Amino acid sequence: MIAIEREFYAYLDQVDLITVLLPYSYFDGDSKEFRLKGEGVDLPLAIQEKVYLEETVKYICLASVRPEIGKPYKVSDDHGGETDLQIGAVIRTEEFDRLFFYEGNDLGVSYTPEKSTFKLWAPTAGKIRLKLFRDDWQNSEFINMKRSGKGVWSITVERNLQLYRYSFLVCINLEWREAVDPYAIALTVNGEYGVVVDPTKASQVQDGFTPLRNPVDAIIYEAHIRDLTMHPNSGASRKGTYLGAAEMDTMTPLGESTGLAYIRQLGVTHIELLPFHDFEGVDELDTFGSYNWGYNPVHYNVPDGSYATDPEDPYSRITELKQLISAIHKMDLGVIMDVVYNHVYIREGSPFEKIVPGYFFRHDEHGLPSNGTGVGNDIASERLMVRKYIVDSVLFWLNEYQVDGFRFDLMGILDVETMTAVRKAVDGVKPHMLIIGEGWDLNTPLPGDRKANIANQGKLPGIGQFNDWFRDSIKGSTFNIYDKGYALGNERYLEAAKQVMAGSVGIGKRKSGLFLQPGQSVNYIESHDNHTLWDKLKICTPDVEDAILKKQHRLATSMVLLAQGIPFLHSGQEFFRTKKGVGNSYRSPDDINWLDWDLRDENLDNISYIKGIIAIRKANEAFRLGDSEEIRRRMAFLPLQAPLIGYELQAGAGWEKIIVLINPSMDQQLAELPEEAKWNVLVDHENASAEPFRHMEGNKVLLEPCSLFVAAK
């Protein structure tokens, strides 16, 4: 890209408004008039306002004829000088959106063995060339593309282009930029070029997962593809890869199942995989030289090559990811894809910014890129073609890779209308599939009532949100590692703990809750972010023996699984996963991040307990009520002394009622049941099972320290 020398500057900031900037070094920044010149155009501009800035004088001018975006124009002054009219803030106006919204579903490459058609949305471009080569970029062809309606450029090449590499050379404001196709579905190594592939040769995903009746029937298990197999005793032969994670019969040296077989045995319903769309942070030619979680998105519609056995083969990452998803489906598990549509790795290097500069990203009142994401760019999802891109991308993954749900990273950056459009589009293909997201309130220049965050959950039916109220009430504040939640013995969180156990929909005296329906509440205490619960326990209570910490950990995890709403577990949480005190391990070495299968083998008793809790949830729909009114009708808290929590569930099929008692204290506590009866014990401080393992009579229970008790009648 060659920089253009200009004596002064002119920008189209609205469809009929031109801003001219004259430096003081250029005739003291003074001009009495300006003219707009182009093909068939030579007319004066009406100066509306003159503003003296620090280094320039700004002239705001009105054009009597709207400049046609994409065509070249010049602006002249009364000194005989000229400058090109550049595309300015007009691209962030509603008029621009209306003029150039393209409804077609054919952007990217449409391939057949006889011909390939390339289409690119680039309304502000003056010229575009397709760069095309087979093996060596030095032997590239350059083919001029043609502009048609709505700013779409296209070209059809009449021969078989399978495995040809391609990019677009885009000229905007007299400057050429090379960009990868944002709709590319295959890439060269490290994403340098798009690749034309034959979709019929990329295999198909097998054995689809049937969506659940209600989101609250889901039990989500979050995992990173590489973490699943990198440990020396994972039993996987192709460690760190899609195919390694897809291996089904792996075991530790002790003969205990690992990987997918182990996860299926836990009883969860879905695996949520950290981002596997193309991301920066790992060199695909040196996969194990670095580590990354995947939250540095570059190309949204292509699997990342760092998990492929041959990243230089464009088909490898595609077919191997499909094999992994097929393997998960064969285990009767669903796949939730973690998607990162809220930002890109580096704005300036993004295909979005190179092809339509300034359009795809949100800017503040000073015209600077907004930073609610914390990485210097926020995707402007409220713009029509950005919203279309997100919906198109979601449908691509749904249709081509048969994923069973989506988890939206930093969903609060996105807008309500976009997330509603995603939900509607998904329902048109696979109704009832899971859509969840991080609905944090982030500082991005979008009106508060338009943000897809928890405060606006009433506008987002059918979309679950990670419940930080649950997390902080049960575990303690994520951002104050020394704060202890209810499960860690802090009585201050007692009332909050009751509410979040009831799905955060409002129960008892609190008639309104954080959510309208329990299916909107994703209940969790640990995820890939921040410290694991075990590390938090070790840091904030360093003098407490491990046996007690394990009881607290077990209690907190059990509360996640028995609360109304959608339970979410971080992989390894069931066996006290540690990252050796590292709070955010997004680029830490494998020995910090991997699932430690030796640690798993050391904690089989706790895993058995958690499996029992999962089985109880699945066997008794009273723990997964799908409607807030039903929760209020069928769940009632018992009048127990603090710090105890007790509640009764009208159980329906199987049992008449179920009693749940929670003792977070370090002392034995005597609790009174609501009636004298013969009770079937499902959970105590040592055992958990969907089938009763003992019986008791009466109405009093001695609760062991830091324990859970569940009995059914």
Contacts of 629 (CB under 8 A, 6+ apart): none
Q: How many CB atoms lie within 10 A of CB 223?
A: 21
| Nearest to 414, CA basis, from 405, 403, 423 | 423
Cα gap 237→301, rounded to integer Å: 28
Q: Retrieve residue 617's tokens.
A: 């949830």
Q: Is 151 helix (H, G, I), strand (E, B) or coil?
A: helix
The backbone region for 174, taken as left when phi is positive above 0, alpha when psi lies in -120 to 50, beta otherwise, is left
Alpha helices (H) in 93-179, listed in sequence order? 94-100
Choosing from 409, 526, 596, 621, which is the catalytic residue? 409
Please report, to the nearest 10 degrees, the dihedral formed by the alpha carbons of residues 241, 243, 248, 250 taken in order.
-50
Show Cβ contacts of residue 68 under 8 Å, excluding neighbours closer than 6 positions.
38
Going by the DSSP 8-state scheme, the letter that residue 586 receives in this structure is: T
Sign of the torsion formed by the C-alpha atoms of 284, 286, 288 and 289: negative
Active site residue 409: yes
Peptide bond preceding 211 in cis form (omega within 30 of 0) = no
- Rounded CA-CA distance 10/29 in Å is 13
428 three-class SS: coil
Provide CB contacts within 8 A for 12, sequence distance 6+: 18, 67, 69, 85, 86, 87, 88, 90
Q: Is 438 a catalytic residue?
A: yes
Question: Residues near 135 by Cβ (< 8 Å), separated by ≥ 6?
Answer: none
Percent helix / strand / coil, the chain, rounded to 5 = 30, 25, 45
C-alpha distances out from residue 6 to 22, 98, 515, Å: 10, 31, 55
Which tokens is 152 given? 């779409």
Using alpha carbons, list the distances in angstroms from residue 321 to 167, 404, 706: 24, 14, 42
What span, in angstroms and rounded, lies between the C-alpha atoms of 571 and 581? 17
- Under 8 Å between Cβ of 495 and 432: no
In this structure, are residues 179 and 145 in contact, taking their beta carbons and an 8 Å threshold? no
Distance (Å, rounded) from C-alpha 62 to C-alpha 20? 11
Helix (H, G, I), strand (E, B) or coil at 445: coil
Residue 28 CB-density burial (10 A; 0-12 exposed, 13-18 middle, 19+ buried) = exposed
Which residue in 181, 438, 596, 684 is the catalytic one?
Answer: 438
Looking up tokens 């990173």 gives 224
SS3 of residue 283 by DSSP: coil
Provide the Cα torsion 524, 525, 526, 527; round to 10°. Answer: 30
First to last CA, the chain: 75
* Residue 492 near residue 602 (C-beta atoms within 8 A): no
Which residues are part of the catalytic machinery?
409, 438
